[in-house]
Amino acid sequence: MSEDNTGKLAWFFAGAAIGAAIALLYAPASGEETRRRIGESANRGKDRLADSGRDLVEKGKEIYERGRKMADDASELFESGRKLVQG
């Protein structure tokens, strides 16, 4: 998942949580029941956002490792070329 898509996904979940909270405020339920539902909805949103954050960190680590490997490979190629030129 790209950074752009992860951001969009986080905004989607944030919007969904806000929409759910608003819907619950207008729902015909007792105050206690409504507060409980809002709390559950907020916890689900928090968990989803945390999952998205973990996914983003994992993707960042993968990209870092690929970049590091490419830099190591380029360094080895440079050294090989230098040795060839020096003869």
- What are the structural domain ranges in the chain? 3-86
Rg of the chain over all Cα atoms, to the nearest angstrom: 24
Which comes out higher in pLDDT, residue 18 or 87? 18
Q: Is the per-residue pLDDT at 21 higher than 70?
A: yes
- Shortest CA distance to 24 belongs to which of 4, 44, 51, 1? 44
pLDDT tens, residue by residue, 52-84: 888 889 999 999 999 999 999 999 999 988 888
pTM of whole model > 0.85?
Answer: no
Which comes out higher in pLDDT, residue 28 or 36? 36
| DSSP structural state of residue 68 | H
**Mean pLDDT over the full length of the chain:** 84
CA distance 39 to 65: 39
Q: How many CB atoms lie within 10 A of CB 55?
A: 13
CA distance 43 to 49: 10
